[in-house]
Amino acid sequence: MSWLTELGPYVFMIGIGVVLYHYANRIVYTPISGQMGPERWPKIVLGLFIAICAFEAIRRGVALLRKGVSRAVSDDDGGFSQHMEAHPLLVVAAAAVTVAYLLLFDVLGFFTATILYVASVMWIGGVHRPLLVAVLSLAMSFGFSFFFLKLIYVALPLGQGPFMQVSLLVMKLVGVN
């Protein structure tokens, strides 16, 4: 298991680097004689990337062999040993809610989608009083609508069907035609 956690990420990155290097070889352009092409710089960067990953993988492999699997090298030298905070599931939930927000942005429109998003993030963020969350998310969504639509003129999505009507009403309330 130590082998996997110690070397796995570096081997994985070497794999990605090699695939991208292969793609760099396939960049299409008209060569000019005596002049470097557009693939040279990415290939230098990817070459360096692969070389560092390989060096680190070998270094760690050698260290593991010397010290034995039970005394892995990871802890103090800043390897890939993971440090997870107390609530990784909350992070997954926040990321999922944000993805849902982006997916529903065009359908629900800015105002309605923002009410749901702000309420969800507040709840995930530890505010567990339903009435407060409801009032605040409504107020914040209205406040952001005013700020972005009226003050800095951002064209935000209106949504579809009944949600568009809601957005239009909000626009009227914040004074945007």
Partner 1 sequence: MDGFHLLLAGFAAVFNLQDLAALVIGLCVGMAVSVLPGLGLVMGVVLALPFTYAMSLQTSIILLTAIYMSGTYAGCYTAILYKIPGEPMDVPLLWDGWAMTKRGDAAKALGWALVAALTGGLVSSAVMVSLTAPLSRFALSFGAPEYFAAIFFGLTTVVALAGRSLPNALISMCIGLFVSTVGIDSTYGAERFTFGSDVLINGIPFVMVLVGMYGFGEILDKIGQGGKGVSIKVESGSASTRLPSWKELWELRSTFLRSTTTGTLLGLIPGAGATISSFVSYGMERQYGKRGKQIGTGIPEGIVAPQIAATASVAGHMVPLLTLGLPGSGATAVILAAFLLHGVQPGPFMLKDPNSALTVYTILASMFVSVIGMCLLGFLWIRMIIRVLVIPQGILIAAIAMFALIGAFADRNSMSDLWIVVIFGIIAWMMERVKLPVAPMVLGAILGPMAEDSFTRSMITYHDDWTMFFHSPISATLMGLSVMSLLFPVLKKFRQSARKSPAVDGTASTLAN
Interface positions with partner 1 (CB under 8 A): 9, 13, 20, 23-24, 27-30, 34-42, 45-46, 48-49, 52-53, 55-56, 76-88, 90-91, 94-95, 98-99, 101-102, 105-106, 110, 114, 117-118, 121-127, 136-137, 140, 144, 148, 152-156
Beta strands in 2-124 (DSSP E): none
Coarse DSSP helix, strand, coil percentages of the chain, rounded to the nearest 5 percent: 70, 0, 30
Closest CB to partner 1 among 76 and 177? 76
In degrees to the nearest 10, what's the CA dihedral of 76, 80, 83, 89? 180
* Shortest spacing between CB 42 and partner 1, in angstroms: 4
Based on CB atoms, which residue is closest to partner 1, 88 or 161?
88
Q: What is the rounded CA–CA span in Å between residue 142 and residue 172? A: 12
For partner 1, the closer of residues 61 and 80 by Cβ is 80
* Residue 161 beta carbon to partner 1: minimum distance, rounded to whole angstroms: 19
**Can you read off the two tokens belonging to residue 97?**
């809610």
Q: What is the amino acid identity at position 82?
A: Q
**Shortest distance (Å) from residue 49 CB to partner 1:** 4
With 0-12 / 13-18 / 19 or more C-beta atoms within 10 angstroms meaning exposed / middle / buried, residue 108 is buried
Q: Which is nearer to partner 1, 1 or 84 (CB)?
A: 84
